[in-house]
Chain A
Amino acid sequence: MKYWREPLDLDRIKVTRGRVTVVLDRCKGCEFCISYCSRGVLAMSKKFNRKGYHYPEAAEPAKCVNCHFCEVICPEFAIFSEDISDTAG
């Protein structure tokens, strides 16, 4: 992440890391999660699910900060994130 000014407490802030999971066959391809992920983690897959919709995938999985926004904005209960701060180092 780029900063226009280095925050004074940058060394003390611990950014959480998340892992995003898609429940493939629930997705209806509305793109809400992709558009509103502020870290640009998600991108549309070229593949289709069983219902014929394209679904999102984590194109930049390392950027996920586990903010859960994709999870709360998804109308299909098809995507969620989990905290992996401890395991991701």
Chain B
Amino acid sequence: MTPPTTAAVQPVHPQDHLLRTDRIPHIWCSGCGIGIVFGALMAAVMKSGTPLDDVAVVSGIGCTGRMAGYIKLDSFHTTHGRAIPFATGLKLARPQGKVVVASGDGDLLAIGGNHFIHAARRNMDLTIICVNNFNYGMTGGQLAPSTPFGAKTTTTPLGSPDEPFNFCALAAACGATYVARWTALHVRRLTNAITEAMNKKGFSFVEVIAPCPTAFGRRNKIRRALDLLRFYYDRSVVKNQLDPGEATIDFDHSLAVGKFLDIERPTFLDHYEMVNRGEVEAWPATGVDASAAGKRKAG
């Protein structure tokens, strides 16, 4: 048997052309799921067929936020929670480009929560990848808006007393056009979902349930990354087209994964151009009959 490699020259990995290899190995812990999602993102960028000069990756603060620093494409690591506003600016300045926001649940949906809901409402043409590891990993494992009810974190040592958000339901309710959720072990379906999301016009949202063995697993008695990766996968049930409102993350009965939503809706830029071309009728479209005013009694 020959050992896998003992070459003095480091072998070239097929994704090295998209990696800032001088910064690899990355800082993520052994068995952290973020690396898997990052690999899926790079695979999806290639699969989507977008010219590499037209792709930009934006992230916020946190472990997932490091992605922007490791990818060899136009990228920017913004301040905490501000990935979406920055990405919005990029998209509006260069509408032909594809802008991907890759960040964690804390960054996107706690600190950046308002940006998220309004970008979805306006149907900003962005691809949002949310790595959900159920806590704030980088700062030591504090409670996040995704932490499951009863789960332990540094700030909730007895268990979280809060109900977590259902991010997929939130995205859909706010106006997203594409919503999917997978776990990190569904890596091939995840890659397809990110590819579809990139090629989808409008606000597309992909949530990935990913193991954080260091900060979350350790406090919840699933210390081994391999066990945590498998735990999420084993509890998941594929339910494509499920109403996102019912797509709960329920570890005991049904951790719903799949593509929940894929619809068409005019984007912010579509509407903005219509307004500027004067193609939008005066509001309200039915007009106001001045002579009728005051004739109808109130109440």
Contacts and interface: CB of A to CB of B under 8 A. Distances in A.
Interface stretch (B1-9, B52-60, B118-126, B245-253): B1-9
A23 B35 contact: no
A87 to B, nearest CB: 15
A77 to B, nearest CB: 5
B13 A73 contact: no
A75 B33 contact: yes
Interface string A13-27: 000000011111110
Interface in A8-54: 20-26, 28-32, 35-36, 45, 51, 53
A56 B4 contact: yes
Contact of A73 (B15, B16, B185): B185
Contact of A58 (B4, B36, B40): B4
A74 B35 contact: yes
Contact of A30 (B13, B16, B30): B30
- Report the interface size class on chain A: 20 to 34
A24 B4 CA distance: 9
Contacts of A74: 35-36, 39
A41 to B, nearest CB: 10
B173 interface: no
Contacts of B13: 23, 26, 77-78, 80
Given A24-B6, A56-B4, A61-B1, 20 more contacts: A21-B5, A21-B11, A22-B5, A23-B5, A23-B11, A26-B25, A28-B25, A32-B31, A32-B226, A32-B229, A35-B226, A36-B185, A45-B3, A72-B36, A73-B185, A75-B33, A75-B36, A76-B25, A77-B13, A78-B13
